[in-house]
Structure 1
Amino acid sequence: MISFGFVTINDRQEIDYSTEIAKRAERYGITVFRFTPLDIDPLTEKARGRQFHAATQSWTESVFAIPAFLYDRCFYRADERSKKSKPIMQWLKQRPDITFLGYGFPSKWELYKKLIDHPLLSHYVPKTTLLRSPTDLLHMIRKEKAAICKPEHGSRGQGIYVVKQVEGHLHILDTNGQTIATIKRKTDLQQWVETLLRRSSYLIQPFLPLKTKQNEPFDVRFFFQKNEYGQWSERGRGIRVGAPGTIIANVSAGASISGFSEWFKQIPAPQRLFITDGIETITTVLPSYLEEKFGPLFELGLDLGITEEGGVWLIDVNSKPGRKIITALAPEKRDTIYEAPLRYCLFLANGVNVR
């Protein structure tokens, strides 16, 4: 049997998802384990986690050797557990006896630098800079009137702020669109930026007008996985719409989901041409280019923002995407999505070069 490890920061994270995978594993000759990086004993290099048993369709506590194939579903935050877990995962990724389904990206800043090097993709990426001081933020706001601040290692829309200039003052908004601070002096801005950077490194971008006519933030999520032949396959795409006045359209933050084709039919014909061209360029070029620059990947979530004029922006690229949109919009694809990690694991086990 092939040993397959589902790795998370906390042992209660994504239990439903890992269980759906594990239920289907026996037919592929795969045994599924789940554990956290901190479950590994540094002396024995064994993990104390849970093993799924097909006979009882349940997880039981177990001590086991680190599985030969690992599915990294670790989302890092600023807490101590994340800080301790990250170097352990980096150590595992260096081991020649362990294969990860995907190796992910080092950071959003490193990702941005590679994207702007590409002659086609660079046209779809918002101007991005590292936030090092208030001067960086002021420079962008003077030029763009509003800037969005994103954690360099953030995910799921957490830790995002928008800074707008209103009547000579700066208003800092959270993702709910609520003003959490009004900055009237540069010393206040200095203090806010320093507090922000103590929690995480941050990137800043222009705050783009990616909203519906009802002032709802929206974007398009594309979900890709590798198939059993090591080839990229689009599993689906959907529209995410946030509440009026909020900042982001993230499902974990309460955004609604709708089908892409229904939305696209309502777009005027001239804009459709621009949108289709942008989408096809990004989805065709991006996955293979990212693997060329960062190494093997298994899945990708692409978030595209679209303006009223039909302009397409690559807002975010996630190597550990959720799948709520696809399972909600296309429940008939559930088996395909849950079996994909197992099928790709078999592909890797056969020793095929996926680069």
Structure 2
Amino acid sequence: MISFGFVTIYDQQEIDYSTEMAKRAERYGITVYRFTPLDIDPLTEKARGKKFHAATQSWIESVFDIPAILYDRCFYRADERSKKSKPIMQWIKQRPDITFLGYGFPSKWDLYKRIIDHPLLSYYVPKTVLLRSPTDLLHMIRKEKSVICKPEHGSQGKGIYVVKQVENHLHILDTSGQTIAAIKRKIDLQHWLEALLHRSSYLIQPFFPLKTKQNEPFDVRFFFQKNEHGTWSERGRGVRVGPPGTIIANVSAGASIFDFSKWFSQIPSPQRLFIADGIETITNVLPSYLEEQFGPLFELGIDLGITEEGAVWLIDINSKPGRKMITTLSPEKRDTIYEAPLRYCLFLANEVNVR
């Protein structure tokens, strides 16, 4: 049997997903374990976590060697558990006897720097600056009027702010669209930024008005996974629409999901040609290019923003995407989604002779 580990920061994180996957594992000759980085004993290098018991279809307490193949589903935040977990995962990724389904990205800033070097992809990336001082923010505000601030290591739409120029002062909005501060003096901006950057490093970009006619934020999510042959496969695409007046269209923040084809068919013909060309370029080129730059990956969530004029912008890339979009729009793909990590695990096991 192949030992396969599902790793999360918190014990019950993504329990439904890991359980559905584990229920299907026995037919592939795979034993599934769940654990967190903090479950590893530094002396014995064994983990105290859960093993899926096929006979009872349940998780049981177990102590085990770190599995030979790991599925990293760790989402790091500013809390102590995340801070302790991250270096442990970095240590495990250096071990030659352990293989990960995917190794992820260093940071959004590293992503940006690599993508702007690509002769085709660079046209679709918004101007991005590492936020270090009020000058960085004010310089972009003068050009764009509205700026979005994103955590360099953020995920799931958390920690995002929009800064808008309103007459002679700045309004700072959270993701719900509420103004949390109105700043008139540079010293007040300095204090706000110091508090912000104390929690996390941040990037800034122009804030595009990606809204529906009902003032709802929206974007288009493309979900890719590796198949059993180790090649990229698009599992689906959908439009995510947030509540009216909010800032982002993230499912975890309450966004609704809609069929891409229906949405696309309502766009006027001239814009459709531009949009289709941008989508084709990005989805055909980006996955393999990212692997060239950052090493093996297993899945990708690619988020595109599309303007009324038909401009396509690459607004986010996630190496640990959720799968609610697929299970909502295409319930018949549930088995495919749950079995994909197992099929790719077999591919990797054959590649590195793991048994």
TM-score, with normalisation over the residues of structure 1? 0.99
**1:126 and 1:308 mapped to 2: Cα distance?**
16
Change (3 A) 1:42 1:9: same
User: Which residue is 2:131 aligned to?
Assistant: 131
User: Which residue is 1:36 aligned to?
Assistant: 36
User: What code does the residue aligned with 1:252 have?
Assistant: S
**1:185 and 1:69 mapped to 2: Cα distance?**
53
Q: Once the 2 structures are TM-superposed, how far is the Cα of residue 215 of structure 1 from its aligned partner?
A: 1.1
User: Which residue is 2:193 aligned to?
Assistant: 193
User: Which residue is 1:290 aligned to?
Assistant: 290
Runs of 4+ in 1 over 3 A off after TM superposition: none
For residues 61-94 of structure 1, the C-alpha deviation after alignment (integer angstroms, 9 at most, x for no partner) is: 1000000000000000011100110000000000
**2:351 and 2:274 mapped to 1: Cα distance?**
41
1:234 lines up with 2:234 in the alignment: yes
**1:326 and 1:310 mapped to 2: Cα distance?**
25
**2:97 and 2:251 mapped to 1: Cα distance?**
37
TM-score, with normalisation over the residues of structure 2? 0.99
**2:119 and 2:71 mapped to 1: Cα distance?**
32
1:68 lines up with 2:68 in the alignment: yes
User: Which residue is 2:299 aligned to?
Assistant: 299
User: Which residue is 1:154 aligned to?
Assistant: 154
1:143 lines up with 2:143 in the alignment: yes
User: What code does the residue aligned with 2:78 have?
Assistant: A
For residues 155-208 of structure 1, the C-alpha deviation after alignment (integer angstroms, 9 at most, x for no partner) is: 000000000000111000000000000001000000000000000000000001
Stretches of structure 1 that go unaligned for 5 or more consecutive residues are: none
Residues 271-290 of structure 1: pairs in structure 2 closer than 5 A: 271-290=271-290
User: Which residue is 2:165 aligned to?
Assistant: 165
Residues 1-355 of structure 1: pairs in structure 2 closer than 5 A: 1-351=1-351
With 205-214 and 148-157 compared, the bigger mean Cα shift is at 205-214
Q: Once the 2 structures are TM-superposed, how far is the Cα of residue 352 of structure 1 from its aligned partner?
A: 6.6
Aligned residues: 353
Q: Once the 2 structures are TM-superposed, how far is the Cα of residue 235 of structure 1 from its aligned partner?
A: 0.2
**1:352 and 1:125 mapped to 2: Cα distance?**
36
1:21 aligns to what SS in structure 2? helix
For residues 253-310 of structure 1, the C-alpha deviation after alignment (integer angstroms, 9 at most, x for no partner) is: 0001100001011000100000000000000000000000000000000000000011
For residues 294-337 of structure 1, the C-alpha deviation after alignment (integer angstroms, 9 at most, x for no partner) is: 00000000000000011100000000000000000000000000
For residues 128-177 of structure 1, the C-alpha deviation after alignment (integer angstroms, 9 at most, x for no partner) is: 00000011000000010010000000000000000000011100000000
**1:108 and 1:147 mapped to 2: Cα distance?**
17
**1:255 and 1:149 mapped to 2: Cα distance?**
20
For residues 4-33 of structure 1, the C-alpha deviation after alignment (integer angstroms, 9 at most, x for no partner) is: 000000001000000011000000000000
**1:162 and 1:6 mapped to 2: Cα distance?**
35
Q: Percent identity?
A: 87
2:351 aligns to what SS in structure 1? coil
**2:142 and 2:167 mapped to 1: Cα distance?**
13
2:216 aligns to what SS in structure 1? coil
Q: Once the 2 structures are TM-superposed, how far is the Cα of residue 351 of structure 1 from its aligned partner?
A: 1.0
**1:351 and 1:344 mapped to 2: Cα distance?**
10
